[in-house]
Amino acid sequence: MNETIVLSLAGIGLTALACQWFAWWVKLPAILFLLLSGIVLGPVTGLLDPDTLFGNLLFPIVSLSVAVVLFEGSLTLKFSEIKGLESVVQRLLSVGVLTTWTITTLAAYWLLRIPFELALLFGALTVVTGPTVIVPMLRTVRPTARLSNILRWEGIAIDPIGALLAVLVFEFIIAGSGGAALGHTLLSFASQLFIGFSFGAIAGYVWGVVLRRHWLPEFLHNVATLMMVFGVFALSNHLQPESGLLTVTVMGVWLANTRGVDVREILDFKETLSIVLISGLFIILAARIDFARVTQLGWHALGVLLIMQLVGRPVKVFVSTWGSSLNWRERALLAWIAPRGIVAAAVAALFALQLQQQGYAQAELLVPMTFIVILGTVALQSSTARLIAMWLRVAEPDPTGFLIVGANPLARAIGRALQKHGFRIQLADASWSNTRAALMDNLPTFFGNVVSEHADRRLDLVGTGQLLALSAAQEENALAATRYRNEFGVANIYSLQITSEKEGDNKTGKPRYGHLAFGEDVSFKKLSAMLGEGAEIRSTKLSEEFGFDEYYKKYFRAVPLFAITPRGKLLVYTAERELNPAVGWTIISLIPPAEQTTPPADNNKTPKAS
């Protein structure tokens, strides 16, 4: 028996990993493949039965996992990011929620022929979008910063609101109809709001003091914060049932907007944990779907889905953005993106079970109908949203550009060369003289420390997906590589060593993360000296008559920096990988002023690239 449980848990983990990798490979949200895998493992093959596997622990595990996901998402919600758009977010979370709730309730009541109170509950369950689906979709769609911030705020903040709304309706159904039921429901709702906001604010303030005053060692920050979230969530739910989600969301927002509290390390840990939890939860909950119930719903379920997508969401966005600074293109994309996520699935499964135990007819239809909405919205929007965003011209460009650490003469020369070939660049330097010189060269430059909180708020990374550390300070390059390795990926981090071992310095500044830029024997000292002697960065396109061998014979003292393939892909020369440029490639090199025409006999090195 124990071996079977261990095998099932390991199988869920490996399946989740495969889904995440495949989603990354095909550039689609992983939730789509996680849901499909859960359906295959559960109702299709019968290999996974979550109720048997977890027993009574299933829904407590789901509840705690959702709490962690919401807390992680709320840590990214900074009020400064929605400056000027606060009213849009507020209306999306208030009048927008009521609009969606009303339209969805009427559609379910008329098309599914279910009791009105169940339709009301279904409408409340599906007003949420949720960070579990919004955040992965935003990574793929890459809308403009304004739209991304609005969708992220809505997706994270609406989850506890939707959960509270669903609890409100559930309490009304359980209490019965009439004035007494309404009074009981309103009292319960007021208690949830009071406990959620007050307890969340107190927890956020206290934990902010603990972190700011360093009452805990650094290595305990992540684990202690996780335990704090578990404790706050459980205690809040104990004081007032179903108030925990609001509590942990308020706590996260409070910490994110508290000065002097650095949540980046905590956020990195929670992001990794959230990926694990989200992956497992979607597989487990999808495995509980009953196909017989789905068949029972028939084509009417598709009608409800279409009304939610084509009527409910556009009306909500129209009402919420009326009079705002958003243009029609931005509103159109907002009106299309509203995938449902894990909170809707988890709460629907919990309430359906409790209503069935109470003897409510057709309560079992809540779960399959909710999963149809989740599958339908995720599949439709994840496969089309990027194309629509590009068509509407509200998508960020592909992240092929470079964030260049430093605005010194070497960084400026490389920046000009890359910009000349149409690649997006963003220089960053804390020296005003370097920054001013770069701005005089019409190079986009950020004045400040690239790893500061100010950079997190102000540094424009639109279209940049790679880091090139060219600072004269070894520590600055190392800090930048450490800071951006998670955001860009280690494979897209390139650092230039300060001096090479041949130049007589054991502290060469070789990168801890990423690649050693431009070669083993190339250093900041060497390239800067070449520039001072009159060397220039030039581009040469290889042809049948002038291939790489001829290029190398003519420019054997040159330092190759980049290579551009015929398809326009930019490759950085590094010390780790071989590169064999062919006809049609363009080589960008730093060429000395007096280049010899014939190479010396022992010069047989081959440049490398990544």
In DSSP notation, 490-516 reads GGGEEE--SS-GGGT-S-----SSSEE
What is the average pLDDT across 561-589?
A: 87
43-45-50 Cα angle (round to 5):
55
What is the average pLDDT across 117-124?
A: 90
Query: Residue 393 — pLDDT band, cuts 50, 70, 90?
Result: confident
Domains of the chain with CATH codes: 2-179+261-391 (1.20.1530.20), 401-609 (3.40.50.720)
3-state secondary structure of 333: helix
pLDDT value, residue 450: 85
Among 131-145, 253-267, 306-320, the least confident range: 131-145
If one compares 30 and 608, the residue with the highest pLDDT of the two is: 30
pTM score, two decimals?
A: 0.65
Query: Residue 69 — pLDDT band, cuts 50, 70, 90?
Result: confident
CA distances in angstroms from 527 to 470, 501, 563, listed in the order given:
11, 15, 18
Query: Residue 562 — pLDDT band, cuts 50, 70, 90?
Result: very high
Count Cα neighbours of 240 within 13 Å in the Cβ-side half-sphere: 24
Of 67-76, 144-153, 385-394, 593-602, the range with the highest mean pLDDT is: 385-394
Identify the burial level of 147 via C-beta atoms within 10 angstroms of its C-beta, where 0-12 means exposed, 13-18 middle and 19 or more buried: buried
Query: Residue 106 — pLDDT band, cuts 50, 70, 90?
Result: very high
DSSP secondary structure string for all residues of 242-288: T-HHHHHHHHHHHHHT-TT---HHHHHHHHHHHHHHHHHHHHHHHTT
pLDDT value, residue 500: 67
Among 91-105, 425-439, 578-592, the least confident range: 578-592
536 strand-pairing partners? 591
Query: Residue 242 — pLDDT band, cuts 50, 70, 90?
Result: confident
Query: Residue 412 — pLDDT band, cuts 50, 70, 90?
Result: very high
Of 55-69, 152-166, 301-315, 365-379, the range with the highest mean pLDDT is: 301-315
Q: How far is CA 47 from the centre of its chain?
A: 31
What is the average pLDDT across 185-198?
A: 82
**496-508 pLDDT, tens per residue?**
988 765 655 555 5
What is the average pLDDT across 146-154?
A: 83
- Enter the tokens of residue 280: 């497992």
Residue 570 DSSP symbol: E
pLDDT value, residue 609: 52
pLDDT value, residue 158: 81
Residue 325 DSSP symbol: S
Which residue in this structure is represented by tokens 């399946």? Answer: 15
**Whether residue 27 has pLDDT greater than 80:** no
pLDDT value, residue 233: 92
Among 68-77, 329-338, 539-548, the least confident range: 68-77
pLDDT value, residue 599: 43
**343-374 pLDDT, tens per residue?**
787 777 777 877 777 777 778 888 888 888 88
Mean residue pLDDT across the chain: 83
**444-462 pLDDT, tens per residue?**
998 888 887 667 656 767 6
**Whether residue 177 has pLDDT greater than 60:** no
Instruction: Map 346-406 to HEC letters.
Output: HHHHHHHHHHHHCCCCCHHHHHHHHHHHHHHHHHHHHHHHHHHHHHCCCECCCCCEEEEEC
**507-532 pLDDT, tens per residue?**
555 666 788 988 888 889 999 999 99
pLDDT value, residue 597: 47
Query: Residue 165 — pLDDT band, cuts 50, 70, 90?
Result: confident
Query: Residue 473 — pLDDT band, cuts 50, 70, 90?
Result: confident
User: How far is it, in rounded angstroms, from Cα 508 to Cα 609?
Assistant: 20
3-state secondary structure of 572: strand
Closest CA relative to residue 96, chosen from 368, 344, 371, 334: 334
- Enter the tokens of residue 545: 């008559």
User: How far is it, in rounded angstroms, from Cα 410 to Cα 99?
Assistant: 56
3-state secondary structure of 331: helix
pLDDT value, residue 300: 87
User: How far is it, in rounded angstroms, from Cα 219 to Cα 223?
Assistant: 8
**267-324 pLDDT, tens per residue?**
666 667 777 887 888 888 888 887 777 777 778 889 999 999 999 999 999 999 998 8
pLDDT value, residue 588: 92
3-state secondary structure of 183: helix
Q: What percentage of the chain has pLDDT greater than the value 70? A: 88
